[in-house]
Structure 1
Amino acid sequence: MHLKSVALTTEEIRRIVRQRRRDLVISERLHAEQSIYRQIYQHPKLLSAKKIAIFLSFDGEVNTQPIIEYLWQQNKSVYLPIIDLTNPHHLAFLPYHRHSQLTTNKFGIAEPIYDVDKILPYQSLDIVFTPLVAFDHRNYRIGMGGGFYDRLLQNYQHDNIYPIGLAFKCQQIKYVANQSWDIQLPEIIIG
């Protein structure tokens, strides 16, 4: 069922869709995630990609740990986003390994411990798996409200980065009232 998002504020949409996502019963969630994983494991862009950014799941998001495990098995370099301490309105990316130490950021999200010497310039990434709260049929997304991914992906085509959103079907709404700075994702993998 689609929300009539035109009549709701973005904050109301976030609240409703986040609750929908958290309310998924375990069997629905597992079935949807298996569908997402199959699509990712067979994704042609993943074959040639070497450096992949992905997020750690939070607040009912698609569980990304099996994707991370798969990427490690395929000898891909995995990077996690962190809030850049030198520019707190932007993301930076640090390598993520099985034994990476994590800390919790101001939003309660796990991230690697900041180390300026290990930051990868985002232009070096091949794929950026992108979190989202809600999305529409045009692949416009509503995030958590910080604008981090919209700023990051502003020039993704020029930088030759391929962003992929990950979402459950229940996160789709009829229409995202996008602003000029909002990034339309080239692809959202839905389960």
Structure 2
Amino acid sequence: MNSSNSNAATGSQLPTELRTELRQLRRQLSPSQQHQAARSLYKNVICRNDFLKAKRVAFYLANDGEIDPLPILFKALSMGKQCYLPIMSKLKQDTVCFAAYTLDTTVQANKWGIFEPRTAAKDFVATSSLHLVFVPIVGFDARGARLGMGKGCYDRGFAFKRRHGRGQPKLLGIAHDCQRLPAVAVNPWDVKLDTVITDKSVYTRQ
């Protein structure tokens, strides 16, 4: 396992400060760096058994400098997997929801500028029915602790994972390696990631 990234913010900062610094860090990556990071991420994912075996896979559409899983999404569709995207604009009690995505799905930008499927709430799928979820990250550590945007949407949506541990779905956090921290403070309601995959390495929770 690699040593702590000296370019990342330190884990001793307040969460708000960390989010600001880490988001700025990933937004500073050039288009060429983003493209190369997405290619490296793709190579680190597509040969994994959990990806190959999963039939129902949730992704996200990159925003705000996030590492881009779109090449993996297209690969999953070509393999006949059922793919899903998060919907944040119609949250139920601030809980992330998911809807099916195909190449024919219409997407629209929500108020945060994030593209999501244009679909009715009745078409949302249960988070527990997914096999694999690619989770966006602001910051992370090698133990699987995740620093998100601070709304708690994913923690609420996958709260059942705290009770059932490493059961379905498997949560794969994906990020630029520069977003890695020495440690992320964990709250009782936080849901840990099973694995974090970056453009440079794979960090599996022990």
Same topology, TM > 0.5: yes
In structure 2, stretches of 5+ residues that fail to align are: 1-5, 200-206
What amino acid sits opposite 1:183 in the alignment?
A: V
Aligned position for 1:41:
46
Aligned position for 1:162:
170
2:146 to 126, 141, 149: 141
1:23-102 matched pairs, under 5 angstroms: 23-83=28-88, 85=90, 87-102=92-107
Residues 96, 11 of structure 1: alpha-carbon distance in 2 compared, 3 angstrom cutoff:
same
Aligned position for 2:202:
none
Number of residue-to-residue matches in the alignment: 190
Aligned position for 1:10:
15
- Contact 2:171–2:193 under 8 Å retained in 1: yes
- Contact 1:135–1:142 under 8 Å retained in 2: yes
SS at match of 1:69: helix
Aligned position for 2:204:
none
Residues 49, 186 of structure 1: alpha-carbon distance in 2 compared, 3 angstrom cutoff:
same
Please tell me the root mean square deviation across aligned C-alpha atoms, in Å. 1.7
In structure 1, stretches of 5+ residues that fail to align are: none
Q: Could you report, residue by residue, the CA deviation over 1:78-110 in whole angstroms, capped at 9, with x for unpaired residues?
A: 001113737141122111111211122232211
Residues 83, 24 of structure 1: alpha-carbon distance in 2 compared, 3 angstrom cutoff:
closer
Is the counterpart of residue 126 in structure 1 residue 131 in structure 2? yes
1:165-176 matched pairs, under 5 angstroms: 165-176=173-184
How far did residue 117 of structure 1 move? Answer: 3.2
How far did residue 12 of structure 1 move? Answer: 0.7
What amino acid sits opposite 2:177 in the alignment?
A: K
What amino acid sits opposite 1:109 in the alignment?
A: I
- Contact 2:127–2:158 under 8 Å retained in 1: no
Query: So what's the TM-score if we normalise by structure 2?
Result: 0.86
How far did residue 180 of structure 1 move? Answer: 1.2
- Contact 1:127–1:163 under 8 Å retained in 2: yes
Query: So what's the TM-score if we normalise by structure 1?
Result: 0.92
What amino acid sits opposite 1:46 in the alignment?
A: F
What amino acid sits opposite 1:143 in the alignment?
A: G
Q: Distance in 1 between matches of 2:37 and 2:61?
A: 18
- Contact 1:84–1:91 under 8 Å retained in 2: no
What amino acid sits opposite 2:149 in the alignment?
A: M
